Amino acid sequence: MHTSALSANTAVRPQPAKANRLLYLDWFRGLAAVIMLQGHTFHAFTKPELRDQPAYVLSQFVGGMPPAVFLFLLGVTLAFRLDGAERKGLRPWQRVREGWKRAAYLLLLAFLFRLQMWVFGWPHSPWTDLLRVDILNAMALAAAVLSLMALVRAADRMRLCAVLGVAIAVLAPVASAIDWSLTPALIKSYLAPDFNSFGFFPWAAFLAFGLSMGSMLRRTPEEQMDRLMQWFAIAGGVLIVGGRYFAALPYSLYAQSQFWLDSPLLVFIKLGVLLWMMTFAFIWTRYATPGRWSWIRQLGTTSLLVYWVHVELVYGRWLWFWKERLEIGQVIAASVGVTLLMLALSIAKTYHWSARPAAMSWYPFVTSRTPAPVPAES
């Protein structure tokens, strides 16, 4: 999510196979950005009395996917980094420290984002908003913990991270059942499932699964990528159907669990959808629009900027006259308008701010063209 911006030439010319391998991850991230834009616009502008309408319910239902996508793709790029560092001969704890540095950078971004939102909302925003655990905070914590996977060889990382992802998801209801009354609220927000924050349980499971899948992608030869995507699609279908089937059963292994908050089955269903989305992105960029400029992929290459600016736009003071005042048709038009505005901003960034520093390669939402040199394949 990387160090070089798209130039005008690479946007319209066919890409070499090495670059094509990762364009689908940009498209995947861009699709998540589009879903995020409409979800937040609907949430901010729809009249309260219309929030039981099918359009609003559908908007918010699919709008729950982008955080999982961003965590998953951060795991994929983290896997690329760890694999590249291993091939360059860095010692295990050196690789771990590199991961921790990036996690600290994500945490810094998270606090800068909250600070900017608080300053722009002053004096009406409470100081506690500075400590809110949002998606960037969740990424930072998950990346810090799972950077320990650098101690494991890449071949073993695929299996171990998949097991860790399952374990985090399975332990989420247990974390919900813990008595957190004696724990500081901030620590609880970072760890426990909550509808108002992104706790380690269960959200870090998506980063663990991304680490597993990223290690697999990194070590799969180019000629076998089609077959791998077929298996991803099959696995996604099994996860969705199986998760939905077991969720409908009248009994549970847990004394207390809420499906939309901490259910492992919801995590597995979302993982299945992620695998389908990634497979579709691969097919679309590889066969339907090879080498062509894509507005969805464009959003994916600058998704941190899109995330940062649109949240201030739709939830800040700028469009106060629309807050919770629009009909469904008007909100749809507003969603299109916000998306076009973010696309224009993304294009401006790509073609006018091309000299990005190397640190940008670790922005949690940006392009997936990982520059780390790897002898076998990129």
Q: What is the pLDDT of residue 153?
A: 87
Q: Which pLDDT belongs to residue 98?
A: 86
Examine residue 131 and state whether it is found in any structural domain, yes or no.
yes
Q: Is residue 371 part of a domain?
A: no
Whether 345 maps to a domain, the answer reads yes
Both structure tokens of 297: 């992929």
pLDDT mean over 123-148: 93
Say if 375 falls within a structural domain: no
Grade residue 21 by pLDDT with cuts at 50, 70 and 90.
low
Question: Considering the domain boundaries, does residue 367 fall inside one?
Answer: no
Residue 277 lies in a domain: yes
Matching residue, tokens 């609907």: 42
User: Does residue 368 sit within a domain?
Assistant: no
**Given a cut of 50, is residue 11 above it in pLDDT?**
no
Q: How confident is the model at residue 238 (pLDDT cuts 50, 70, 90)?
A: very high
Q: How confident is the model at residue 86 (pLDDT cuts 50, 70, 90)?
A: confident
The span from the CA of 80 to the CA of 24, in Å, is: 15
**pLDDT score of 358:** 41
Domain residue limits at 37: 8-362
Is 2 contained in some domain?
no
pLDDT over 50 at 3, yes or no: no
**Buried/exposed code over 184-206 (b: 16+ C-beta within 10 A; e: otherwise):** eeeebbbbbbbeebbbbbbbbbb
pLDDT at res. 20: 53
Q: What is the pLDDT of residue 352?
A: 75
Q: With 60 as the cut, is the pLDDT of residue 206 above it?
A: yes
Strand partners, 46: 326
- Residue 249 is predicted with a pLDDT of 92
More confident residue, 57 or 352: 57
Cis bond upstream, residue 371 (ω within 30): no
Mean pLDDT for 226-232 is: 97
Domain count, the chain: 1
When pLDDT is averaged across residues 41-63 and rounded to a whole number, the result is 96
